[in-house]
Structure 1
Amino acid sequence: MSDWKAETAISFENVSVRKSDFVLGPTTLDIPSGYITAIVGPNGSGKSTLFRMALDLAKPDHGKVTVLGQEIGSGDDDALKQHIGYVPEEPYAHESRLKGSDKAKINGFWYKGWDLFRYQELLRILQVNDHQLLGDMSKGMRRKTELALALAHNPELLLLDEPSSGLDPLAWKIMIDLLHRHMDQGDRTILMTSHIVDEVKRLADFIVFMAQGKVLGFYEKDELFCSWFTYYVSGEGIDARDLADMPGQTGIEFAGMHTFRVTTGKAQDAEAWCTDAGLTVVSKSAMELDEIMAALLHGIGLETKANEARGLRR
């Protein structure tokens, strides 16, 4: 896990939420300013709940949430929300009778930083006709409209809950490019959730893993992929107990002929340990995001959720 420190855009301090069918936390999590952070986890992990708390659309039972230096719920937050853009996972049903252009007029009235020319440029890039009713648009067209609306006031903080849901491959590539351009200014932050492995790899600087309302880890992306590997390890007379102390190991499987398949989140330490133990590394391969998620869940005994994690889309 990275020791990296920076100013935070969002701070969740010991927050918890308890409902009849769901428990979140207690969770402490800092989202760094100036970077893209992706939260990854199975459905029902609590990702959207964190977003809603950051927007004061849901209240924690305990703890506090601070966004751009202001504690949420401590007073009038209209000025704060001027600096935030949000694309929810599911569009708001009550807006379905509005045209995209109607919602743009509302946004233009409310956001002091609303940029009409930027909005029109985004419509052109995304190939959107905003004169349709939002409720009559296809899922992908409405998603593109929501993205244009969220980006057009150049928000300092952008919250994207499954932003590519419904987008075709071409629109997805355009979205990736738009988000990279949005970050070019250097003082902006994106917090996103995604089930798309390639989306996280292309966009995220930091990755948060969540499951069952708890944060499993916060990682710098490049460090994460350099640390998590699958090894095939062999040795005369070796058995699983000999590998139990391998640094970072999260799973051991017999592979036949004095060989075991081992997953670890501390690759360099694990290789050095094998050398010291007189074991041979037959082969190794870097793990993909879904495999890392499954390994983390397997390590804490959440087998069903681990199987769900393997369903993250490439």
Structure 2
Amino acid sequence: MTTETAVAIEGLVQRRAHFELGPVDLNIPKGYVTAIVGPNGSGKSSLFRLMLGLARPDSGGVRLLGEQVRGEDRVSLKTRIGYVPEEAIDIEDRLSGEAKSAFVRQWYPGWDVNYYRELLRRFEVDPALKLGKMSKGMRRKFELSLAMAHHPELLLLDEPSSGLDPIAWKTMIDALHRFMERGDRTIVMASHIIDEVRRLADYIAFVAQGKVLGMYEKDALLEAWQTMYVDAGGRTLPWKEMPGYRSCDLAGGTTYKVVTEQAFEAEQWLAAAGAVLVSKRKLELDDILLNLTEHARGVY
């Protein structure tokens, strides 16, 4: 079965004086949550702005929900999208939450006032407050409620949990799970919170230094990346020939600590080589990101 694409990015490049993004080629499937994960300054927010047409690329293009993103404002496309930027917009500080929602709702034919009020209640947001008087966490919850109120087909979230306390974070996770229950909606989120990615994401795209290092199905990724402790029996094995080889260090005696991104194939290779697999453990997502980033930088 062919999976529809919600976001298609092809040959996207943006050059700035001190940073270059791309070229980026990325297809994000419809109906799933995809997390874009990477260190600060890796280009995640720039990628979001390019996806929305808020900035122009030097080359390449983006298609959202089957429509080409161009420099002009395309209301028909944007009514199908919800977006929460990483930083709040300062010029809106003097507006109350109610005033902003009254302005925003007129652009969305699918605006659901009951759903909007339900989200505000669940997030414990007082919309009568001016945005500039809200705490960072409350303003984040307000912006998320606003972005979800018209039931968008595509929800773009740039660091959605920034400023949230643990209780609000759990409420957000639950709200996003419920948002996805219909099966035809898509979330693309940038996050550096590993537990958030683990709880929400179906797919993970790793980004570092303006490059996409790879896109993976989350469960398959966590199953495939493993650290193995191997007794080589005093022999020197051609470790770099092992499937999915990433690194190898002597752990003590005749035992080696080996990292692979193809665990099943690596075990078969070790068995054929007559080596003994003493133990193994799955890598955490942050360890995988570190490994990918260091490879991209040529550390290994």
Q: Which residue identity does 2:271 align to in structure 1?
A: T
1:134 equivalent among 126, 131, 135: 131
CA distance in 1, matches of 2:215, 2:235: 34
Residue 257 of structure 1, aligned match among 244, 253, 275: 253
Instruction: Identify the match of residue 245 of structure 1 among 241, 261, 269.
Output: 241
The alignment partner of 1:101 has SS state of: helix
TM-score under structure 1 normalisation?
0.92
Q: CA deviation at 1:238?
A: 3.1
State the identity %: 54
Structure 1, residues 5-34: CA drift from partner, whole Å, max 9, x if none?
Answer: 521111111110111111111111011111
Kindly indicate whether the alpha-carbon contact (under 8 Å) linking 2:232 and 2:256 is maintained by their aligned counterparts in 1: no
Does the CA contact (< 8 Å) of 1:251 and 1:299 recur in 2? no
Instruction: Tell me which residue corresponds to 1:312.
Output: none
Aligned CA distance change for structure 1 residues 5 and 46 (closer, same or farther; 3 Å): farther
Counterparts of 1:231 and 1:129 in 2: how far apart (Å)?
A: 52
Task: Structure 1 unaligned segments of length 5 or more: list them.
Answer: 307-314
The letter of the residue matching 2:173 is I
RMSD of Structure 2 on Structure 1 (CA): 1.5
Does residue 153 of structure 2 align to residue 156 of structure 1? yes
**Contact kept in structure 1, 2:244 and 2:260, CA below 8 Å:** yes
Q: CA deviation at 1:298?
A: 2.3
> How much does 1:190 deviate?
0.4
Number of corresponding residues: 300
Structure 2 residue 225 is matched with structure 1 residue 228? yes
The 2-side partners of 1:182 and 1:268 are apart by 35
Alignment of 1:39-50 (within 5 A): 39-50=36-47
Which residue identity does 2:250 align to in structure 1?
F
Uncovered stretches (5+) of structure 2, i.e. residues with no partner: none
Contact 1:45 1:211 (8 Å CA) reproduced: yes
Which whole-Å CA distance do the structure 2 matches of 1:188 and 1:41 have between them? 24
Asked if the contact 1:228–1:292 (Cα under 8 Å) also holds between the matched residues in 2, the reply is yes
Aligned counterparts, 1:270-309, within 5 A: 270-301=266-297
Partner Cα distance (1:234, 1:72) in 2: 54
Deviations 1:79-117 (A, max 9, x none): 100011001111111111111111110112121111111
Q: Deviations over 1:190-236 (max 9, x none)?
A: 00011111111110110001111111111111111110000011122
Match of 1:267 in 2: 263
Which residue in 2 is equivalent to 1:34? 31
Residue equivalent to 2:15? 18
74-83 vs 45-54, greater mean Cα deviation? 74-83
User: Residue in 2 aligned with 1:196?
Assistant: 193
Matched residue type, 1:167: L
Normalising by the residue count of structure 2, what TM-score does the alignment of the two structures yield? 0.97
Mapped partners of 1:197, 1:5: distance in 2: 29
Q: CA deviation at 1:242?
A: 2.8
SS at match of 1:244: helix
Indicate whether 1:9 and 2:3 are aligned.
no
Deviations 1:101-139 (A, max 9, x none): 111101121211111111111111111101111111111
Alpha-carbon offset, residue 47 of structure 1: 1.1
Question: Pick from 172, 176, 179: which aligns with 2:173?
Answer: 176
Between stretches 68-77 and 163-172, larger displacement belongs to: 68-77
SS in 2 for 1:201: helix
Q: Residue 60 of structure 1 aligns with which residue?
A: 57
Q: Quick one: structure 1 residues 76 and 145, their matched pair in 2 at CA, closer, same or farther if it must change by over 3 Å? A: closer
Match of 2:164 in 1: 167
Residue in 1 aligned with 2:92?
95
CA contact (8 A) 2:123 2:141 kept: yes
The 8 Å contact of residues 98 and 133 in structure 1, kept in 2 or not, is answered as: yes
Question: For the Cα contact (< 8 Å) 2:231–2:254, is it kept in 1?
Answer: yes
